[in-house]
Amino acid sequence: ILSKKRADYELAWTRLNAAEQNNEDILVKVTGKKDGGLNVDFQGISAFVPASQLDREDLARLDSLVGSTIYCKILKAARNRKRLLLSHRASREKTLAKLHEALKTIKPGEVVHGKVSSIKSFGAFVNLGEFDGLIHISELAWDRVATVEEALEVGQEIDVYVIGIDEENTRISLSLKRLQKDPWEEAVKDLRIGNKLPVKITRLAQFGAFAQIKEGVEGLIHITEMSDEKQVKYPQEIVQSGQELEATIIRLEPQNKKIALSLRQHAELAPEAASTAEPQLPPSPEMAASG
C-alpha cells in the first residue's frame, strides 16, 4: 500500500527542517485570516503567522493577502505537535537588509545589465540580481511611447542607465532613452523661428495638436494658431491624427524642449526675415500645461 500524500508530507517536513537549520526563508500561501494573524500553507503543512509577526503595511491589507504567496522565517517547527509558527516581518527585514547592501554596489550614472521581470501600464521592472529597478514609461524612448509593450517584453535582457537610487525605500529608477543620443540636440541646430517645415500630427488635445517635426521631436500647434479664417473650437475641425502638413515655428525653447507651431499665415515671421534669436514672448500657459 502506497501513499503519495504521506510522501509529500514527509518531504515537506524534510525541506522545513533544512530551511530552519540553514536559516532560510520559506515561501507559503496565505489561506485565510483571523484576528490573531494569518493562516498559511507550506506544501500541505498548515502554519500560522501571528499578527505580531506582520508589519503595519500587512495588517492594513489582510484581505488582499489571502490567496497570495509570501516569504516567512521559521520561528518554531514542532512536528510532534503539528505546529509551525512563522514570521513574515522578520523575513522582510532580512530582505530589506540585503537590498540595502546590494544597492550600495551601483551608483547613479552607471550602466547596468538586467532582465525585464514584469510590465505594468506605467513602466517596466528590470531585475538586476538582488533587486528590481523601474523604467518609467517616459524613460523608454525619446519618442512618445503609447504602451510599454511597444518597447519591451518580459524576459528581454537589456542595458539600462541608473537615474537615481532611493535607499530608504529601496527603489531604483532606470532609463533606456538616456543610453541614446537626445534627438533635440541635433534637431534644434537647424531650426529657426519663422521656418516653415513639414510636420505630422501625432495626437490631439483639448488645447491643440502635437506634431512631429523630426524623430523624437514634437511641437505644439495651439488651437488659436490653427486658422486665420475662423475661430476654432476643437482641433479636429482643422487637423486629424496622422495628417501631414506644413507649419511655421513661432516660438523656440530648446532649453525646455518646447516648440510652438502655427498653421496661420505669419508674414512677419517669414524665414528670410526672421532673426535667429528667440523673440521675447511671454510664456504661454497652454505650452506650460502641455509639458
Shared domain check, 121 and 80: no
Distance CA 210, CA 220 (A): 5
Give the C-alpha distances (Å, rounded to integers) separating 147 from 125, 136, 143, 153, 216: 14, 11, 12, 11, 16
The β-bridge relationship of strands 69-78 and 123-127 is unpaired
Distance CA 192, CA 172 (A): 39
CATH number of the domain residue 254 falls in: 2.40.50.140
Cell numbers describing residue 70: 509570501
- pLDDT the model gives residue 291: 40
Looking up cell 505650452, which residue turns up? 287
Shared domain check, 143 and 78: no
Helix (H) or strand (E) holding 71: strand 69-78
Shared domain check, 85 and 98: no
The β-bridge relationship of strands 258-262 and 217-222 is parallel
Cβ contacts of 195 within 8 Å, gap of 6 or more = 248, 249, 271, 274
Question: What's the chain's Rg over C-alpha atoms?
Answer: 29
- Domain tally, the chain: 3
Domain final residue, candidates 69, 89, 109: 89
Distance CA 230, CA 205 (A): 19
Note whether residue 256 is domain-resident. Answer: yes
- pLDDT the model gives residue 274: 40
Shared domain check, 73 and 133: no
- pLDDT the model gives residue 112: 92
- pLDDT the model gives residue 281: 41
Write the DSSP symbol of residue 197. Answer: E
Note whether residue 23 is domain-resident. Answer: yes
The strand pairing partners of 209, in sequence order, are: 204, 221
Note whether residue 25 is domain-resident. Answer: yes
3-state DSSP of 92-159: HHHHHHHHHHHHCCCCCCCEEEEEEEEEECCEEEEECCCCEEEEEHHHCCCCCCCCHHHCCCCCCEEE
pTM of the predicted model as reported, rounded to 2 decimal places: 0.55
Please check whether residue 203 is in contact with residue 229, taking contact to mean a CB–CB distance below 8 angstroms: no
Shared domain check, 109 and 175: yes
Shared domain check, 77 and 103: no
Note whether residue 6 is domain-resident. Answer: no
Shared domain check, 82 and 125: no
Distance CA 275, CA 132 (A): 50
Shared domain check, 98 and 46: no
Looking up cell 475661430, which residue turns up? 231
Helix (H) or strand (E) holding 100: helix 88-103
Shared domain check, 239 and 196: yes
Domain final residue, candidates 123, 153, 179: 179
Distance CA 93, CA 216 (A): 43
Note whether residue 272 is domain-resident. Answer: no
Q: What angle do CA 151, 152, 154 make, to 5 degrees?
A: 165
Distance CA 159, CA 215 (A): 22
- pLDDT the model gives residue 49: 93
Shared domain check, 97 and 157: yes
Cβ contacts of 211 within 8 Å, gap of 6 or more = 199, 200, 201, 202, 218, 219, 220, 221, 247, 261
Helix (H) or strand (E) holding 171: strand 171-175
Domain final residue, candidates 71, 89, 107: 89
Note whether residue 10 is domain-resident. Answer: no
Note whether residue 12 is domain-resident. Answer: no
What range does the domain containing 22 cover?
18-89
User: Tens of pLDDT along the chain (291 residues)?
Assistant: 899 999 998 999 999 999 988 888 999 999 998 878 899 999 989 999 999 999 888 888 888 888 988 899 999 888 888 889 999 999 888 877 877 787 788 889 999 999 999 998 999 999 988 788 999 998 998 877 889 998 899 999 999 999 988 876 678 899 998 998 877 777 777 888 888 899 999 989 999 999 998 887 889 999 999 988 888 888 998 999 899 999 999 988 877 888 999 998 765 555 443 444 343 444 444 444 444
Q: What angle do CA 38, 41, 46 make, to 5 degrees?
A: 85
Note whether residue 79 is domain-resident. Answer: yes
- pLDDT the model gives residue 269: 56
